[in-house]
Structure formats: C-alpha cells, structure tokens
Structure 1
C-alpha cells in the first residue's frame, strides 16, 4: 500500500510520500514513489505514484525516456506549454499503460488486474503552481479552493487532521508539521504504509526544490512529532466532559 499527499499553499506546494511496497507480510521493500524533473529557471515538475508498482514504474520510465531526447521521443513533459498539458500527457500515458498490461494479462476493462493513480505537481514560468490528481482512466481533477489537497493510497487515517488544521496561508514549516502528523496517524493504523518518507517543498516561482529530504526511521523530529501528538491527544481526551451513566439525557446534552 501507499500514502502520498500533495498540498497547495499560498506560497507554493508541499508533497510527502511513503516508500513501502509489499506483496505480503513477508515481502516488504522500500521504493521511492516521488519523482522530479526540472528545467532551471523555467519549470519544475513532480509526480507521486500509488498502485501496482510495475505499472507506475513503466509510466515513470517512459517519461524519463522521452525527457532524455525530447526531440526524438515526443511528447515530453519538459516541452509541454502548460501544466494542464503535462497532466493530459501523463494521464494518457497512464491510461494506455494500464490498458496494455491488462490486455496482455487477459483482463477485461471491467475487472482490471493492474491499476494506479498519480499526484502531479509543478509550475511553469509565467504561470501558477498547479496540483492534479490523475485517475487510472487517464482523466484528472485539479486542486482548487474547495479541494486544496490530494491524497492517494491509504488515505482515510491521515485525512481528518489535514481537514481540521489546513490553512492555505500557513507557513511551509507548519505544513510539513501537519503532514508529519497525518503520516504518523497513518503509520500507526496501517502497517502497509512505512518509513522512510520523502518530503518536497516547492516555493512559488522558484524552479528548484526549496527543501527536499528523506525522513528515516531514526529521524529525531519525526519522533518528537509522533510522541508529542500522542500526548496531545491524550490531554485533549482527558479534558473533555466526563460521560455519566446515570445522568439524565437532558443533563448530558447541556
């Protein structure tokens, strides 16, 4: 399983992904699920992947091949004029890759064996930073005021804290802290999501990573966030009004 989050802020974009892949409890490995491409001073693009590993890697490999010699292997995401065109290109490639693999395996479109989804983020000079969620069918949606972040993979455990604490005006530092809490909640609830985590901060109009790092299992800040959040939840729980089994319903409602 996987957990990846992309978030839009006033200052730019923040992305985080886990690295765990597994085909059973006794076959667990680490694999990077975040890939980046750039043209200095002109564009920066990142993709996070979830789903069948061979399928997502086939998509990434094809993008890499096109980018090495874009004049010979078009279309390339390094030549697309807008991020919308990049999303269309990547969506079409994902759809065709999934269809080809399912066809080769004798699977119907109604009951596919292979599937994947992607989060695409980036900015091209002269335009706004943009964030897209790309579905296995190749279609996609873009982040907006109403939907300012996307998740793929094991999304349910880490979603509540983002919904409650997200603010588009928050600092990059607070956004990273929020994502750390979201990932900690997911790690605690689902063993198929695991460390290390990959973090990427993309500042508006800065076409290279503002901040990029891998968060390992022994990372002191992540440990401080994990233990601090656990303690904060216990204190919040203890501060809530006590429930009384013998109290009238009217009293409990006050």
Structure 2
C-alpha cells in the first residue's frame, strides 16, 4: 500500500510520500514514489504515485523517456505550456500504460490500477496540483480542497482537515504532514518509513528542500512522541460522559 500527501500553501507546495511496497511479518521492501522533473528557471514538476507498482514504474519510465529530448519527442511534460497540459499528458500516459497491460491479459483490470498526484509550477503560470485517476481524467486542487491524498488516506486525513491553514509556513506544513503520516504508520502496516519530503517555494522553479526521513530521525521521533503525549493530555481534559444521565434521558 502507499500513503502520499500534497499540500498547497500561500507560500508554496509540500509533498510527502512513504516508500513501502510490500508488507508482511518478515517481508518489507521500499521504492521511491516521488519523482521530480525540472527545467531550471522555467518549471518544476513533482509526481507521486500509488497503486500497482508495475503500472507506476512504467508510467514514470515513459514520462522520463519522452522528456529526454523534449523538442524531438513531443508530447513531453518538459515541453507542455501549462500545468493543466502536464496533468493531461500524465493522465493520457497512465491510461496508455493500463490499456497496454490490460490488452495482454495480465491479471484483472483492478489489479493494475494507479492514481497519481501531479504538482508544480511553469513560468508565467501559478503553482497548482492535480489528482489523476486511472481512467486518465483529473481534478485540480482548490481553496475548498487544499490537499490531495492517495493510497491509505483515512487514518491521516482528520489531522489535515482540523489543522491545515493556507498561511502556515512550509516548516509547519511538513510538521503537519508528519503527524498525519505518524497516525497512518501506527494504524496500517502497509505504510512504512522511510518518508520522502519535498518543499517548493512559489516562483522559484527549484526545489526548496528535499530529504528522506528514516526511522531513527530525531525530529520525527520527537514529533511522533510529542503528538502521542499531546493526544493523551487532551483526552484527560475532556469531560467524562455521564452514562447514568444518558439512561435517564431515554
């Protein structure tokens, strides 16, 4: 399974993904799920993937192969004029990969589905993000929906809904996403460390920060423990429910 999240802030974009591909009692493996395409000073595009590994790897391989000589191999996401057109190309390529696999009779249709988050900025445009579905269609991030999740989304969503603010700093956004990931990691074995993190500041067309957070990372451990302690403390301050009063009301 997978957990990937992308946030849009007033100041820029934040991306975070886990790296686990298999989970079992004694069988763990990791692979990168975040990929960046860049033309310095002109565009920066980040893609995160979830779903069938063969599908997502084929998708990224095709996008990379078609981007090596953009002028000779249109369409390329390094030559598309807008982020909308980038999302459209990613959707078309994803659909192309799925149809090809399906035509070979490999597994059932649902077995090789994948979803993708595409985010970034192209010069003369604004920073934005898209959620691309297996069918190739997509939706764009909005003020009402300021973040996208793919993969195992349900455990980490509540903290995002409650704590997200568009004006928060990139650093606080990373902290927020780490809490979201920590809740998911503790609830689902199929999502695991290391975690890849990338931030982007508006109109820079370059990566602001990029790192991989390992299990022993002291800041992650501090945030994880601090969040757990804060939840326990908050729980203790809540009023106890009067069960006898509830019975009488019936």
TM-score (norm 2): 0.96
Q: Please name the residue that 2:94 is paired with.
A: 94
1:22 equivalent in alignment to 2:29: no
Give unpaired runs (5+ residues) of structure 1: none
Residue deviations 1:126-164 (CA, integer Å, cap 9, x gap): 110010000000000000011110000000000000000
1:120 equivalent in alignment to 2:118: yes
Aligned to 2:38, the other structure's residue is in SS state strand
Q: Please name the residue that 2:61 is paired with.
A: 61
Task: Give me the CA root mean square deviation.
Answer: 1.5
Q: Distance in 2 between matches of 1:223 and 1:8?
A: 25
Residue deviations 1:192-225 (CA, integer Å, cap 9, x gap): 0000000010100011111110001110000001
Deviation at 1:70, TM superposition (A): 1.8
Q: Please name the residue that 2:50 is paired with.
A: 50
Cα pair 1:6 1:151 within 8 Å, conserved: yes
Q: Please name the residue that 2:243 is paired with.
A: 245
Q: Distance in 2 between matches of 1:106 and 1:187?
A: 31
Equivalences, count: 249
1:184 equivalent in alignment to 2:172: no
Aligned to 2:243, the other structure's residue is in SS state coil
Q: Distance in 1 between matches of 2:36 and 2:248?
A: 58
Q: Distance in 2 between matches of 1:40 and 1:8?
A: 21
TM-score (norm 1): 0.94
Residue deviations 1:77-104 (CA, integer Å, cap 9, x gap): 0000000000000000001101110121
Q: Distance in 2 between matches of 1:199 and 1:70?
A: 27
Give unpaired runs (5+ residues) of structure 2: none
Deviation at 1:105, TM superposition (A): 1.9
Q: Distance in 2 between matches of 1:149 and 1:228?
A: 24
Cα pair 1:102 1:113 within 8 Å, conserved: no
Q: Distance in 1 between matches of 2:237 and 2:145?
A: 32
